């Protein structure tokens, strides 16, 4: 199911870019004057973009000078005439650019806020906090003002590999309006403040809401991390970078450089990889582990075995709680990227990490408490937790046994 997902920003080629949407489908039906193009998965595509499905449909109609037909109840979205799906996909890029992406940082995590007074539309960015105007000259803008996004709708879950996994949690989504947004931001700042005072409670910003707009950490660090992620580079995840000196933007991100080095030097021994990391001042960075894991474990069939081969490298970055959590996170990301082949291997992968003493029992049990969207989509996190269950159970039982041995 995941394999047919494409990057929301198609100009970003990074396969690990986290914002995905299903590839658009089109089906031509009818004949002659009645010929039409049905959009069978526009609902899923629109959900990934956190927009109502009639917006892109209407957009196609406007761009193509064609009538559209929307039957929300039956989930029927139709553009009159025969249209090539590749062409529609290209048009969708324009829709995304104009009505989804933050004009400032290009994040797709935006809400449309409509100001009824002056009929203006703003993209409120959840990644960088900027509000950028939608170009009202496009005719879709008029349509949006007349048909504002629903105030509350089902969690606008995005990018997740498994549409239909909606667990029914409803985010306070949509055009919450000025007041809502401000209140929401304030509560986020509270959370962020708490997190900086406490130690290492970085997983807790993580409630059970779905959707990208409800639980985002708006701390400066988190925003910086997300912006960096959007550059097309590695999405390193986590807002816990108190060892953070990495707000450098631009193409020469040391993490990207490390990733490129590993990809370009497939035969490099681990010592060379670590030397490169040291050269890039990443020798003790827990986030470097994410890059190493994503780039190094390219063979899905041998991941668990390969962990034993690279144990020293993985340990050389450090083994604090944070490092161990990053290792788990890195493998979560790897599993997310290749769910079909790796999800069933989750217990074996985790067992290997445990056997090689890269991740200790405590770190696994801490991780097992609750699926977290720290490194992967919440939906994927849930899948991984489910898949890891046999391992976690084994671990818990082993612990009980050793406890009773000690008595
Ligand atoms: Zn932004």
* CATH of residue 11: 3.30.30.170
| Cα separation, 187 vs 36, whole angstroms | 47
Q: In angstroms, what is the span from residue 182 Cα to ligand 1's centroid? A: 16
Q: At what angle do helices 321-337 and 286-296 cross, to 10 degrees?
A: 30
pLDDT tier for residue 245 given thresholds of 50, 70 and 90: very low
In a domain, 314, yes or no: yes
Q: What is the pLDDT of residues 107-121, one digit of tens each?
A: 999 999 998 778 899
pLDDT for the residue 253: 80
Query: What count of other Cβ atoms lies within 10 Å of the Cβ of residue 269?
Result: 10
179: domain CATH number is 2.20.25.350
Helix (H, G, I), strand (E, B) or coil at 115: strand
Place of tokens 């209140």: 183
Distance 180 CA to ligand 1 centre (A): 19
Give the whole-angstrom CA distance, residue 316 versus residue 331: 17
- The verdict on residue 395 lying in a domain is yes
Q: Which of 89-93, 209-213, 254-258 has the lowest mean pLDDT?
A: 209-213
Look at residue 219 in the predicted model and tell me its pLDDT. Answer: 56
Backbone Cα Rg of the chain: 23
DSSP 146-159: HSPPPSS-S----S
Q: What's the number of CA atoms in the CB half-sphere (13 Å) around residue 351?
A: 15
Per-residue pLDDT tens for 28-75?
A: 999 998 999 999 999 999 999 999 999 999 999 999 999 999 998 899
What is the distance between the alpha carbons of residues 162 and 379, in angstroms, rounded to a whole number?
7
Residue 165 located in a structural domain = no
- Minimum mean pLDDT range among 1-5, 213-217, 269-273, 317-321: 213-217
- Residue 261 belongs to a domain: yes
Q: List the strands of the sheet with 120-125, edge to edge.
A: 110-115, 120-125, 131-133
CA of 213 to the centre of ligand 1 (A): 13
For residue 327, is it within any domain? Answer: yes
Instruction: Using the mean position of ligand 1's atoms as its centre, give its distance from the Cα of residue 86 in Å.
Output: 28
Contact 346, 383 (CB under 8 A): no
Q: How far apart are CA 217 and CA 204, in angstroms?
A: 10
- What is the β-pairing status of strands 68-71 and 20-22? unpaired
Residues 91 and 118 in one domain: no
Q: For residue 166, tell me if it sits in a domain.
A: no
Long-range contacts of 260-263 (CB under 8 A, 24+ apart): 262/291, 262/292, 262/295, 262/296, 263/295
DSSP type of residue 398: H
The total number of structural domains that make up the chain: 3
Mean pLDDT score, 317-335: 94
My answer on whether 301 and 394 are in the same domain is yes
Q: Encode pLDDT of 193-241 as tens digits.
A: 333 333 333 333 333 333 343 344 555 555 555 555 544 445 555 444 4
124 C-alpha to center of ligand 1: Å? 8
Give the distance (Å) from ligand 1 centre to CA of residue 69: 33
Question: Domain ends where: 182, 200, 217?
Answer: 217
* Same domain membership, residue 117 and residue 95: no
What pLDDT does residue 231 have? 43
144-153, 199-208, 260-269, 284-293, range with the lowest pLDDT: 199-208
Tens of pLDDT, residue by residue over 144-176, are 999 998 864 334 434 333 333 333 333 333 333
Same domain, 90 and 16: yes
Compute, in angstroms, the gap from residue 112 CA to the centroid of ligand 1.
13
Question: Are residues 79 and 153 located together in one domain of the fold?
Answer: no
How are beta strands 76-80 and 68-71 bridged, if at all?
antiparallel
- Residue 232 Cα to ligand 1 midpoint, Å, equals 14
pLDDT in tens, 342-384: 999 999 999 999 999 999 999 999 999 999 988 888 889 999 9
Check which CATH number belongs to the domain holding 335 and give it. 1.25.40.180
Same domain, 393 and 246: yes
Asked whether 291 and 262 are in contact (CB, 8 A), the reply is yes
User: Rounded to an integer, what distance in angstroms lies between the CA atom of residue 164 and that of residue 79?
Assistant: 24
Chain mean pLDDT for the chain: 79
Same domain assignment for residues 209 and 223: no
Q: How high is the pLDDT of residue 247?
A: 42
Closest CA to 75 of 39, 50, 47: 39
Residue 13 — very low, low, confident or very high, per pLDDT cuts 50/70/90? confident
Residue 337: give the domain boundaries: 219-406
Torsion sign (Cα): 133, 136, 141, 146: positive
375 in the same domain as 240: yes
Q: Are residues 195 and 248 in the same domain?
A: no
Residue 303 CA, ligand 1 centroid: distance in Å: 36
Rounded Cα gap, residues 91 and 54, in angstroms: 15
186 Cα to the center of ligand 1, angstroms: 18
Give the Å distance between the CA of 102 and the centre of ligand 1: 5
Q: How far is the CA of 10 from the centre of ligand 1 (A)?
A: 17
Strands 20-22 and 27-29: unpaired
SS3 assignment for 351-372: HHHHHCCCCCHHHHHHHHCCCC
| Same domain, yes or no: 238 and 328 | yes
Whole-number Å distance, alpha carbon 230 to ligand 1 midpoint, is 9
Cα of 227 from ligand 1 centre, angstroms: 8
Instruction: Give me the phi and psi of 71, to 5 degrees please.
Output: -120, 90
Phi, psi for 217 (deg, rounded to 5): -80, 120
- For residues 211 and 117, membership in a common domain is answered with yes
What separation in Å is there between the alpha carbon of 168 and the centre of ligand 1? 27
Residue 163 belongs to a domain: no
Distance from the alpha carbon of residue 103 to the mean position of ligand 1, in angstroms? 7
Two tokens, residue 374: 């720290």
Task: Compute the distance from residue 352 Cα to the ligand 1 centre, in Å.
Answer: 39
Ligand 1 centroid distance, CA of 304 (Å): 38
In total, the chain counts a number of residues equal to 407
Element at 284 (helix H, strand E): none
Q: How far is the centre of ligand 1, averaged over its atoms, from the C-alpha of 360 (Å)?
A: 38
Distance between Cα 294 and ligand 1 center (Å): 26
pLDDT of residue 356: 93
Q: How far is the CA of 33 from the centre of ligand 1 (A)?
A: 44
Cα(39) to centroid of ligand 1, in Å?
29
Residue 164 maps to a domain: no
57 plus 177 within the same structural domain: no
Q: Which residue has the tokens 């990809």?
A: 263
Ligand 1 centroid–CA 101 distance in Å is: 8
Q: Could you tell me the distance, in angstroms and rounded to a whole number, from the CA of residue 226 to the centre of ligand 1?
A: 9
Q: Of 72-86, 163-177, 278-292, which range is least confident?
A: 163-177
Q: Which residue has the higher pLDDT, 328 or 235?
A: 328
181 Cβ contact partners less than 8 Å away, ≥ 6 residues apart: 111, 113, 124
pLDDT for the residue 326: 95
């Amino acid at each position: 199911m995941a394999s047919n997902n494409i990057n929301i920003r198609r100009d970003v080629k990074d396969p690990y870019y986290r914002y995905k949407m299903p590839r658009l489908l089109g089906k031509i039906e009818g004949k002659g004057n009645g010929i039409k193009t049905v959009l069978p998965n526009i609902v899923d595509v629109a959900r990934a973009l956190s927009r109502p499905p009639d917006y892109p449909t209407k957009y196609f109609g406007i761009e193509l000078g064609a009538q559209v037909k929307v039957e929300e109840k039956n989930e029927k979205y139709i553009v009159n005439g025969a249209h090539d799906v590749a062409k529609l996909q290209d048009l969708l890029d324009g829709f995304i650019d104009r009505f989804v992406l933050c004009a400032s940082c290009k994040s797709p995590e935006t809400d449309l806020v409509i100001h009824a007074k002056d009929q203006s539309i703003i993209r409120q960015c959840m990644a960088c906090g900027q509000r950028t105007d939608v170009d009202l000259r496009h005719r879709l803008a008029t349509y949006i003002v007349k048909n504002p996004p629903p105030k509350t709708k089902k969690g606008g879950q995005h990018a997740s590999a498994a549409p239909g996994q909606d667990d029914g949690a409803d985010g306070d989504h949509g055009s919450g309006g000025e007041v809502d947004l401000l209140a929401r931001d304030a509560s986020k700042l509270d959370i962020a403040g708490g997190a900086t005072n406490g130690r290492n409670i970085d997983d807790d910003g993580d409630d059970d809401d779905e959707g990208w707009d409800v639980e985002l950490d708006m701390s400066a660090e988190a925003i910086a991390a997300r912006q960096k992620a959007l550059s097309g580079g590695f999405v390193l995840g986590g807002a816990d970078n108190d060892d953070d000196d990495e707000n450098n933007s631009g193409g020469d991100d040391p993490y990207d450089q490390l990733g490129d080095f590993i990809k370009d030097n497939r035969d490099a021994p681990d010592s060379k990889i670590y030397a490169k990391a040291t050269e890039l001042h990443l020798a003790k960075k827990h986030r470097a582990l994410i890059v190493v894991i994503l780039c190094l474990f390219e063979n899905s069939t041998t991941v668990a075995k390969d962990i034993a081969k690279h144990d020293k490298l993985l340990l050389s970055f450090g083994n604090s709680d944070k490092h161990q959590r990053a290792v788990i996170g890195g493998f979560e990301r790897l599993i997310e990227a290749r769910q079909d082949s790796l999800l069933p291997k989750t217990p074996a992968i985790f067992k290997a990490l445990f056997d090689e003493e890269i991740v200790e029992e405590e770190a696994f049990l801490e991780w097992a408490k609750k699926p977290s969207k720290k490194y992967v989509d919440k939906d994927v996190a849930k899948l991984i937790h489910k898949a890891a269950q046999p391992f976690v159970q084994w671990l818990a039982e082993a612990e009980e046994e050793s406890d009773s041995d000690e008595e």
